[in-house]
């Protein structure tokens, strides 16, 4: 085959294999090496809930998609230019994600009769069966080459076979002209305590690279020039890590120690794990006995003066409902992070969705409004978590940060901010008062009450879930109750004065306004860019704040003939907008498949709009 070097703007590569094949690591290493090389990247891990599902079956297939480019990489990409499948099941499950005419790398050794049968193939010719004749299918005996490469390494046979993902990575590094040194350095660090593993891993990486170089099987190789990024120091960060760091940053800025009470739940667990690491910065984490204890320990910590946070996913948020009401009633600062996943009930725990919006907005007893906000990209979770902490503490109330599995697990390069660029956080802590301290006296403009920390002499007071009056701890007076309900609502509503105005990307007025929130930002942004290029009069409004809505929302909406609300649920945000701004008509584009949007789907939806 003729060897072509393609100078690409961007490419998408999808690594797939058995959940024990190390595809998440392979993908992450490829992404990191690309980021260090200077490309823009966006990643999307797509893995099953089972830790080790039956080997070789479709249910055990784990995937990791990386989008690498020179500029404007805002999504992990729709279809893969290169699909790597380590076994027949991975090909079976992922062939649909390969771009027509693209390349497919297969481990020839795994495509035996037994493997094909386990994966559900009916014939011995998977290429024909899946109609992949027009693809550049590269058959490489990856397992046997790995064995050959490491036969003198001293490793046992099992460990040798486990290195086949690194061999594959080496092949991909040749194919995409990536330097090897970043990954070599990584391997040296990773195996610092097991030095016997360093040399074999580096060898197999280089052998994979050289194999791809020497064989004529690989037709095309790609160069992707470094992106023209804003100057600065960068790092790669995932959404869950950025969330943890954003919370820690808010804690440092406010001077309030960070307390996180949580319970492990996919896909939010990584936030708790990350926070648990950072004892050097004084973070207190408690892995509680359940979700309810997670939020209740946090509410206790908030009462005692901590910046309190509880992290969870949909089912956990359900369990926390009653205690969220307690935080609202006692007017204590609390950040609740919900990394949304596919539901209802256990749903598809490892897959992403935006289906908890209704729950976040309404899922509590009584009149219990709570501020709800979200993040656009993995690194944007830092900003969202920081402001969730700031608003919770300065306004003495619970705040929900609605993250998503897609954001939490995704990675992207991030220009490292400086703490001095973030605004001050000044919680309304009181240390003395004239006469008896009244906990529910409020600022007349913001409706914020003061925070008196136990241990402060003279400010002894009681809080609790019962209705109270500004004067005392308990009141069942009807008029007082109405006033308190109104005050708690006003406290949230007034936040519209503290959040940024809604911006329009693309046309400021025109035919169609795309509307979205959270992690669909990248797909909607890219779709908007494409549509603009095609001459369509479209704009795009991304909501970082849902409750309350930005004050200028109606101003933005009325400049467009049609509004298309795109969300990964059945229309929860569209319904909310119908209730809040009924003067507009809302069209919907929805997807509830546990998968992110694809850009082309959005583009088609806009074009199909009658």
Partner 1 sequence: MKYTQQDFKSDQIVKWCPGCGDHAVLASVLRAMPEVCEARGYSKEQFVFVSGIGCSSRFPYYMNTYGFHGIHGRASALATGIKVANPHLSVWQMTGDGDALAIGGNHFIHAIRRNIDTNIILFNNRIYGLTKGQYSPTSKYGMVTKTSPYGTIEYPFNPGELVLGARGTFFARSLDSEMALNQEIMVRAALHDGTSVIEMLVNCMIYNNGTHKDISDREVRADRTIILKDGEPMIFGKNKDKGIILDGLKLKVVKLGENGITEKDILVHNSKDDNFGIHSMLVDMKYPEYPVALGVIRDVADKTYDDSVYAQIDQVKSKAKIKCMDDLLHSGATWVVK
Task: Return d(Cα 309, Cα 236) in angstroms, integer.
Answer: 24
C-beta closer to partner 1: residue 229 or 554? 229
Task: Return d(Cα 455, Cα 453) in angstroms, integer.
Answer: 6
Q: Which helix (H) or strand (E) holds 277?
A: helix 269-277
**Cβ of residue 37: shortest distance to partner 1, in angstroms?**
9
Contact 573, 549 (CB under 8 A): no
Question: Nearest to residue 84, comparing CAs of 111, 60, 103?
Answer: 103
C-beta closer to partner 1: residue 62 or 330? 330
**Cβ of residue 16: shortest distance to partner 1, in angstroms?**
26
Task: Return d(Cα 606, Cα 600) in angstroms, integer.
Answer: 10
C-beta closer to partner 1: residue 186 or 498? 186
DSSP for 191-202 reads: TTT-GGGHHHHH
C-beta closer to partner 1: residue 217 or 281? 281
**Cβ of residue 481: shortest distance to partner 1, in angstroms?**
17
3-state secondary structure 27-74: HHHHHHHHHHHCCEEEEEEECCCCCCCCCCCHHHEEEEEEEEECCCCC
Contact 62, 85 (CB under 8 A): no
Alpha-carbon 508 to chain mean position? 28
- Please, what is the Cα angle at 459 between 253 and 447, to 5 degrees? 60
**Cβ of residue 383: shortest distance to partner 1, in angstroms?**
13
C-beta closer to partner 1: residue 20 or 282? 282
Question: Nearest to residue 223, comparing CAs of 76, 3, 11?
Answer: 11
C-beta closer to partner 1: residue 160 or 425? 425
**Cβ of residue 439: shortest distance to partner 1, in angstroms?**
10
What residues have CB less than 8 Å from 299, skipping those under 6 apart?
A: 308, 323, 326, 327, 330, 332, 334
Question: Nearest to residue 442, comparing CAs of 471, 473, 474?
Answer: 471
Query: Which residues contact partner 1 by CB under 8 A?
Result: 32, 35-36, 38, 186, 229-236, 245, 248-249, 252, 257, 259, 261, 278-282, 284, 286, 288-290, 292-293, 296-306, 308, 322-323, 325-326, 330, 415-419, 453-466, 473-474
**Cβ of residue 274: shortest distance to partner 1, in angstroms?**
11
C-beta closer to partner 1: residue 182 or 584? 182
3-state secondary structure (DSSP) of residue 360: helix
Task: Return d(Cα 589, Cα 396) in angstroms, integer.
Answer: 36
**Cβ of residue 186: shortest distance to partner 1, in angstroms?**
8
**Cβ of residue 173: shortest distance to partner 1, in angstroms?**
17
C-beta closer to partner 1: residue 103 or 310? 310
**Cβ of residue 230: shortest distance to partner 1, in angstroms?**
7
C-beta closer to partner 1: residue 140 or 249? 249
**Cβ of residue 386: shortest distance to partner 1, in angstroms?**
10
Phi/psi region, residue 501 (left: phi>0; alpha: psi -120 to 50; beta: rest), is beta
Phi/psi region, residue 105 (left: phi>0; alpha: psi -120 to 50; beta: rest), is beta
C-beta closer to partner 1: residue 61 or 248? 248
Contact 368, 226 (CB under 8 A): no
**Cβ of residue 364: shortest distance to partner 1, in angstroms?**
12
Torsion of CA 227, 274, 429, 444, to 10 degrees: 60
**Cβ of residue 574: shortest distance to partner 1, in angstroms?**
34
C-beta closer to partner 1: residue 461 or 578? 461
> Among positive and negative, which fits the CA dihedral 417, 423, 427, 430?
positive
Task: Return d(Cα 467, Cα 484) in angstroms, integer.
Answer: 8
**Cβ of residue 181: shortest distance to partner 1, in angstroms?**
12
Q: What is the CA radius of gyration of the chain?
A: 26
C-beta closer to partner 1: residue 235 or 426? 235
C-beta closer to partner 1: residue 232 or 344? 232
- State how far the alpha carbon of 401 is from the alpha carbons of 310, 334, 339, 435, in Å: 10, 11, 8, 38
**Cβ of residue 301: shortest distance to partner 1, in angstroms?**
4
- State how far the alpha carbon of 543 is from the alpha carbons of 132, 280, 414, 467, 503, in Å: 41, 35, 21, 33, 9
C-beta closer to partner 1: residue 419 or 579? 419
Whose tokens are 């804003």? That residue is: 230
């Amino acid at each position: 085959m003729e060897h072509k070097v393609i100078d690409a703007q961007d490419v998408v590569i999808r690594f797939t294999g058995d959940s024990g094949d190390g595809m998440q690591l392979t993908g992450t290493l490829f992404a990191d090496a690309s980021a260090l090389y200077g490309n823009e990247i966006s990643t999307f891990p797509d893995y099953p809930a089972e830790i080790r599902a039956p080997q070789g079956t479709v249910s055990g297939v784990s995937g990791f998609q990386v989008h690498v480019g020179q500029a404007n990489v805002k999504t992990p990409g729709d279809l893969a230019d290169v699909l790597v499948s380590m076994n027949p099941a991975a090909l079976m499950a992922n062939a649909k994600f390969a771009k027509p005419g693209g390349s497919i790398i297969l481990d020839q050794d795994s495509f035996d009769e037994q493997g094909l049968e386990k994966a559900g193939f009916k014939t011995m010719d998977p290429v024909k069966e899946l109609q992949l004749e027009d693809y550049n299918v590269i058959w490489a005996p990856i397992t046997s080459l790995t064995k050959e490469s490491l036969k003198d390494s001293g490793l046992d046979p099992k460990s040798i076979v486990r290195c086949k993902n690194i061999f594959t990575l080496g092949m991909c590094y040749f194919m995409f002209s990536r330097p090897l040194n970043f990954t070599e350095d990584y391997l040296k660090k990773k195996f610092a305590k097991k030095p016997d593993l360093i040399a074999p891993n580096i060898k197999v990486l280089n052998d994979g690279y050289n194999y791809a170089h020497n064989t004529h099987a690989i037709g095309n190789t790609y160069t992707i020039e470094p992106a023209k990024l804003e100057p600065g120091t960068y790092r790669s960060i995932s959404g869950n890590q950025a969330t943890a760091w954003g919370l820690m940053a808010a804690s440092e800025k406010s001077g309030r120690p960070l307390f996180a009470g949580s319970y492990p739940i996919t896909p939010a667990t990584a936030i708790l794990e990350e926070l648990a690491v950072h004892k050097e910065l004084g973070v207190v984490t408690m892995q509680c006995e359940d979700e309810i204890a997670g939020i209740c320990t946090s509410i206790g910590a908030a009462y005692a003066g901590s910046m309190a946070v509880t992290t969870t996913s949909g089912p956990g948020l359900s369990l926390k409902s009653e205690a969220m009401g307690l935080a609202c009633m006692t007017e204590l600062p609390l950040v609740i992070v919900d990394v949304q996943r596919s539901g209802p009930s256990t749903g598809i725990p490892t897959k992403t969705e935006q289906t908890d919006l209704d729950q976040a907005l309404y899922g509590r007893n009584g009149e219990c409004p709570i501020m709800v906000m979200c993040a656009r990209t993995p690194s944007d979770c830092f900003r969202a978590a920081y402001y969730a902490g700031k608003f919770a503490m300065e306004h003495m109330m619970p705040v929900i940060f609605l993250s998503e599995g897609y954001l939490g697990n995704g990675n992207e390069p991030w220009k490292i901010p400086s703490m001095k660029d973030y605004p001050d956080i000044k919680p309304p802590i009181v240390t003395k008062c004239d006469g008896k301290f009244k906990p529910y006296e409020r600022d007349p403009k913001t409706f914020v009450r003061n925070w008196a920390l136990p241990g402060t002499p003279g400010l002894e007071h009681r809080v609790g879930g019962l209705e109270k009056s500004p004067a005392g701890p308990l009141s069942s007076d009807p008029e007082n109750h109405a006033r308190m309900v109104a005050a708690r609502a006003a406290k949230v509503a007034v936040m519209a004065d503290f959040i940024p105005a809604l911006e329009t990307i693309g046309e400021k007025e025109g035919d169609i306004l795309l509307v979205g929130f959270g992690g669909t930002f990248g797909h909607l942004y890219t779709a908007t860019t494409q549509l603009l290029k095609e001459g369509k009069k479209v704009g795009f409004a991304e909501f970082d704040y849902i409750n309350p809505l930005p004050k200028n929302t109606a101003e933005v909406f009325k400049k467009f003939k049609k509004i298309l609300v795109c969300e990964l649920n059945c229309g929860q945000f569209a319904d909310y907008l119908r209730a809040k701004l009924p003067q507009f008509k809302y069209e919907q584009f929805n997807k509830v498949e546990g998968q992110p949007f694809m850009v082309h789907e959005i583009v088609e939806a806009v074009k199909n709009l009658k």
